[in-house]
Amino acid sequence: MNIKQISPYQIFDSRGEPTIMVRIISDSGNSADFSVPAGASRGTNEAAEKRDGGNDYNGNGVLNSIELISNVIAPKFIGYPLGQQDDFDGLLIALDGSEKKENLGGNTLLGLSGAYLKLSAAEAEKPLWQYIAETNQTTPEFPRLFANIVGGGKHAPGLDIQEYMVVPQTNTPTDAIQVIYNVYHTIQKVMQNLYGPSAKLVGDEGGLAPIGTNTEVILEAFSQLNSKMEAKFDIALDAAANTFYKEGVYTVENQQLHASDLLKLYEAWDAKFPIFSIEDPFAENDIEGIEILKTLPRPEKPFLIIGDDYTVTNKTKIEELQKSNLFDGIIIKPNQVGTITETFEAIKAARASKAKVIISHRSGETNDDFIVDLAYGVGAMGIKLGAPMRGERVAKYNRLLEIQADLNANQVNLSNPSNQNITPTSTEKSEPIQTPQPTQTAPIPPTPNLNVASTPTQSTPPPPIAPTVPPPAPLPSQQPAATSPYAQTQTQQDNAINQSAPPTSPPSPLGPQLST
């Protein structure tokens, strides 16, 4: 099947800013949409976003990109065959002709590339995750969920650290989401009891945004809650240190620190409240921070080091930095690089370096749930999907549940998904859409690859498969924790947790606790 029509639209993301949606229609009448997210905390080497400038929407409009797609790009691809992702993306990259997509914009290209992938899967009559798995020869695996519970940095006021996350130790969606739900709603009540009704307000990714708190109070609450729950979780941070670094100094937690002192602060937090991972612990242009990462002992690191602003979903950057094994995990965000093919290449580069793959949303999200199919299809270790709050985040949680339900309904052997196509519970194909057809030009024939550098609750659970990337070994025991400098809030926090949490079994001497 071939492309019949390409229609771009200016829509709005979760922050109310303009972004691009692209719809591609095939000559069989099927269609697919892809909506492009945007980030607030951005790495220097991310693909450029094309914005209109001027007064409308504070210069953030994307109507110039819409015009480019309609009048320049779309006519070149009418009649182009589906199912040739590498070639399609290679032509987009060649049309742009710049290293960071400055000419057409990474957001412009991603809208096209993502819609093309989705439509190719629909024409193959396969769920998107299965099409992705077969394209990449990967084994689908549910990722661990990195859920944002409290936000700061550029996502919410009040805190320097950008994300305080919990990571359920199970990767079964129904069970993991239940853990996240319990944590989120209990911590919400704790923060309201400590800081008043305004603590119920949320940031860009749905994480709570309590004013007046600090890192140790949050980690103390997480740690206490974890000890009272049957189903356990790990604690993860996204420092996004670019946001509080200036002229060689980090201003964090009312302190001014150099990289070596900042590492000591992280280690102190970890000693009191064991931390699973820290993302972007230092600024990407801090040479001292990079040298510290190179010298951290392996495999005795106290926590996993995750790269995002450093690596920006760029194969070349990942390969360069991983020569020194700087990162234990790599964040993958398709809009950082601009096409689906380059996203797949970055995933392969991360895996080749033995780093864990973590697919991630952006702070300016849409209701597009593509990243869930991507994470499951490539068997990523993790997925960052925000809090179970706000529609654009909940869409990702719901897609996880949908995939699990489809698998259970179809009784599929997950370890060999290519043996059969999965029949989704919802209709994948759409009826032909009667919309005006854009000006057609001569079809582009297929071209060679351009090689441009750059536990379940269902009654009948699916059989488990071995993880593509095994979970990390348990952290070594830490030295006895020192008395918290925030000890004066301890009784208040205990009371808040005990007042907020539903009952569990067995009972604790602290009173009624959480059930899971």
Q: Which residues are catalytic?
A: 205, 333
Beta strands in 200-260 (DSSP E): 233-238, 245-246, 249-252, 255-257
Q: What CA–CA distance (Å, rounded) separates 346 from 335?
A: 12
Alpha carbon separation from 218 to 150, 151, 208, 215, 224 (Å, rounded): 8, 11, 11, 5, 10
Beta bridge partners of 234: 167
Query: What's the rounded Cα separation, in Å, for the pair 267 and 308?
Result: 20
57 DSSP assignment:
G
Q: How many CB atoms lie within 10 A of CB 464?
A: 14
DSSP labels for 263-274?
Answer: HHHHHHHHHHS-
CA angle at residue 240 from 238 to 244, to 5 degrees?
Answer: 135
Which amino acid makes up residue 423? Answer: T
Q: How far apart are CA 70 and CA 68, in angstroms?
A: 6
| Cα–Cα distance for residue pair 47/92, rounded to 1 Å | 14
Q: Indicate left, alpha or beta for 79 from its phi (over 0: left) and psi (-120 to 50: alpha).
A: left
Give the dihedral sign, CA 386/390/396/397. Answer: positive
